[in-house]
Amino acid sequence: MKKETFISINVESKNVLNLGMLSRKTKYGIKALTYLARQEDQVPTSIATIAESEKIPHKFLEAILLELRKNSILGSRKGKGGGYYLMQLPEKIRMSTVHRILEGPIAMLPCVSLNFYEKCEDCVDEDACSVNKLMIQVRDNTLAILENQTLHDLI
C-alpha cells in the first residue's frame, strides 16, 4: 500500500535497552487480567498462581492487583483458597479503564488530555500549536481503540 522509504537514523540517538513506552506495570496488569478472564470457574486465583504462570515478580504483581482491586476491577478473598477474581464480565472491562488505572492518562501530553487537561506553560496559542494538533489525532485514535477493546476481545 504505502511505499516504505528507507530512513537512516543514527542508532546512537536512542537507547536500545529502552523497553518502550508501556510500563511493565501495565503489561503485567493486562496479562494478569487476561489470565483471570480465561478461567472458566470463577473461584479466586492466588497471586502466586498468576505470578508463576505469567512469569511476573510476585511482590510486584501483588501491588498491581491491589491497585486494580481498589479501582473495582478486581475483588479479593482472604484466607485459604483465597485470591483475586474479576468483578465484572470480561466483556464489560474496557482496556481504556485498565490503561488509565495502571498507566495513567491516555493522552501523550496534558494539553490534549480529556480527563487531565493542563495548559502548557510555554504555549502561547494552543490552537496554533503543531504538537497539540498532532497529538490530538493520536489520542483520538488510541482512545477509540482502547475504549472499544475489552478484556474479552483479547483472549
Partner DNA sequence: TAATTACTCTACTAACCCTATAGGGTAAAA
Partner DNA sequence: TTTTACCCTATAGGGTTAGTAGAGTAATTA
E-only strand ranges, 14-140: 74-77, 83-86
**H-assigned helices in the chain:** 24-38, 47-54, 58-70, 95-102, 130-148
C-alpha cell at 44: 479466586
Under the binding rule (CB under 7 A), the answer on residue 138 touching DNA is: no
Applying the rule CB under 7 A, the residues between 17 and 76 that interact with DNA are: 17-19, 23-25, 28, 44, 46-48, 57-60, 62-63, 65-66, 69-70, 76
CA atoms within 13 Å, Cβ hemisphere of 72: 4
Q: How far apart are CA 155 and CA 146, in angstroms?
A: 15
Binding residues for its own copies restricted to 9-68, rule: CB under 8 A: 9-10, 13-16, 18-22, 27, 30-31, 33-34, 54-56, 67
Residues that bind its own copies (CB under 8 A): 2, 7-10, 13-16, 18-22, 27, 30-31, 33-34, 54-56, 67, 70-72, 95, 97, 100-102, 104-105, 107-110, 113, 116, 122, 129-131, 133-135, 137-138, 141-142, 145-147, 149, 151, 154-155
